[in-house]
A and B are shown apart, each in its own frame.
Chain A
Amino acid sequence: MYQYDSYDQAMVDARVEEFRGQVARRLSGELTEDQFKPLRLKNGLYLQLHAYMLRVAIPYGTLSGKQMRLLGDIADKYDRGYGHFTTRQNIQYNWIKLDDTPDILADLATVEMHAIQTSGNCIRNISSDHFAGAAADELVDPRPYAELLRQWSSFHPEFDYLPRKFKIAVIASDTDRAAMRLHDIGIQMVANEAGEIGARFYVGGGMGRTPMIAPVIREFVPALQMISYAEACLRVYNRYGRRDNKYKARIKILVHEIGADEYRRQVEEEFAHILTLGLEPPQAEFDRIAAFFADPGFESGLSDAVDRSDPDFALWLDQNTAAHKQPGYAVVVISLKPTGGIPGDASADQIRLMGDLGTAYSLDELRVTHTQNIVLPHVKKADLYTLWQKLDVAGLASANLDLISDIIACPGLDYCSLANARSIPLAQKISKRFADMDRQRDLGELKLKISGCINACGHHHAGHIGILGVDRKGTENYQLSFGGSEAADTSLGVITGPGFSEDGVVDALEKATDVYLTQRSEGERFLDTYRRIGMAPFKEAIYG
């Protein structure tokens, strides 16, 4: 894992003290809320429905056991005993007191963490493949590149007042586990014909009220030039992005309005200019960063055999583990989606336990996934059964990864001041209605995503089934859509028709899954059947 050098630490420590002063001035009345709000947002502090909310950055979703344990401690010490893991691989605390915030940030700084650039119109925390460094199918580990981007984008003065927020994701395999093409910039690390590593740039994706899939802007940028290329992409955006209208201010609108070709032309022009300045990071600096992500001392010669005699364990093993690049190891996904639970929420005890298990069984590493689950990336197959037993005792062994109950849901109207409708109670109802695990497995991979408003924090546009909460004359109403995906086959969902009440939408879901069960061909997922047969049969079943 990356470790702070003295610059990183000094920057973060200085920021904590700066914010301490700002909070004191707000509390003493020297600063009005209008003056203070941009300052607190720079430090991840929002004001939500019930209290302040603090969003902590987890760069590319990677954590050590110690960091995870501290996140648990913060939940106990300063919040109400739990935290919410988000679709941007971060964690949010819902009950923060303003007076405590400087101390929380100081605690975070002791384990090389912070809340910087988790809000505001800047480059946000960079996300990545949650299986990075472990996946059997990756070309290289994407995290050194993500880290390079993190260092470049942290406090970058030119990009501190962008027209709007800016989100970057970096992956390095053809299986997209990071919704890469739905980011402002999506980067896939690829190899050219000479076998050199470089970055393929997708620019102008996003969700929100105008969802768009990012087009390729350049097929191959040599690895050490990727910062300069990203700089060129942002510079064009910074210059021409729509500052006049918040709803048209994201880069996707610019790319869409001027067209990918014209945008590319301008970026290339800027890029050519930047290259003349010789600002590329030296190879030695990249090597220094990459060394932090070297394989963490895998044992060799381990057996791949796993004793499957406990049937419950075998189900979890098949559903919640993935292939590891090192023989004898597996990638484990801990589901934060128990039946009737709150997607992404974990108690302080659960968070600390996962930290301990990460230390004991996963070479001290954990990941947060954009699907609001936790990954232990490097578990010896020989340890899987013991690990599963420990997870089970703590209510963390739901064997539902990628099934209908592995729901992404944003905080919605239970917590969020922008919401139109609640998301969480709906997720709870759905997971209860489909609680039968045999039925869930029969339905197979089915990605259900719920947002409480059009901002789409719950990725509903990209759900095989998406649900969007809307306000219909003061009551909660839900729009259903089918056909979205945020994997390598990225697509945007299509609305089925008129919306539903909370119970109505659960009934409609059941009818839709029945259509799938009767119509599917061998090996087809819900998404595949929908793509083949189209909306009509589903519509008929739901509204007919």
Chain B
Amino acid sequence: MKILTGNDLGSGDVVWWDGKGWSRDVNDAVDVGDAADAILAAEEAARRVNASYAIAATQTADDVRPAHIKDRIRALGPTVRLDLSLRPGDPDAAKQVI
């Protein structure tokens, strides 16, 4: 699948396109097919996202997994500060994104 990501303009938070807006949770990301460029142009213009781009990902039974390690780390947070990540209670979180 092809999904969209970027950073929230004001807060800088990593966000993912969920079909209607931008979510903090990569698992909300939806396949945008051929619409990537159009959505990104409109969303950047509306200042709802910054530094956005499209990436490849796979949908598994329970999550959306970006193809590249960099985006998996963006989705989680720093692997060395899981307390600040999106899965603070999960000691295996780092292993799963690598």
Contact = CB atoms under 8 A, between A and B. Distances in A.
Contact of B50 (A47, A413, A414): A47
Contacts of A52: 7, 12
B69 to A, nearest CB: 6
A49 B73 contact: yes
Interface residues of A, number: 30
Interface string A468-492: 0000001110000000000000000
Contact of B80 (A33, A342, A475): A342
B68 A96 contact: no
Given A413-B70, A474-B68, A47 B12 contact: yes
Given A27-B9, A475-B69, A476-B69, A50 B14 contact: yes
A415 interface: yes
Interface in A73-99: 80, 94-99
Given A33-B51, A47-B50, A413 B73 contact: yes
Nearest to A51: B12
A428 interface: yes
A414 B12 contact: no
Interface string B36-69: 0000000010010011000000000000000111
B67 to A, nearest CB: 8
B62 to A, nearest CB: 22
A424 interface: yes
Contacts of A474: 67-69
B10 interface: yes
A97 B10 contact: yes
Contacts of A428: 80
A245 to B, nearest CB: 24
B98 interface: yes
Contacts of B13: 50-51
A32 B14 CA distance: 19
Interface residues of B, number: 25
A422 interface: yes
Interface in A36-53: 47, 49-52
Contacts of B96: none
Contacts of B67: 474
Given A47-B50, A47-B51, A414 B70 contact: no
A444 interface: no
Contacts of A278: none
B10 A98 contact: yes
B78 A415 contact: yes
Name the residue among B13, B47, B80, B94 with the largest chain A CB count within 10 angstroms.
Answer: B80
Contact of A50 (B44, B78, B80, B94): B78
A29 interface: yes
A425 B12 contact: no
Interface of B: 7, 9-14, 44, 47, 50-51, 67-70, 73-74, 77-81, 84, 94, 98
Interface of A: 26-27, 29, 32-33, 47, 49-52, 80, 94-99, 342, 413-415, 417, 419, 422, 424-425, 428, 474-476
26 contacts: A27-B10, A33-B44, A47-B7, A47-B12, A47-B51, A49-B14, A49-B74, A49-B78, A50-B13, A50-B77, A51-B11, A52-B7, A80-B84, A95-B84, A97-B11, A97-B12, A99-B11, A342-B81, A413-B73, A414-B73, A414-B80, A417-B70, A422-B73, A425-B79, A425-B94, A475-B69
Given A47-B51, A50-B12, 19 more contacts: A29-B47, A47-B7, A47-B12, A49-B14, A49-B70, A49-B73, A50-B14, A51-B11, A51-B13, A51-B14, A95-B12, A97-B10, A97-B12, A98-B10, A98-B11, A415-B78, A422-B73, A422-B80, A474-B69
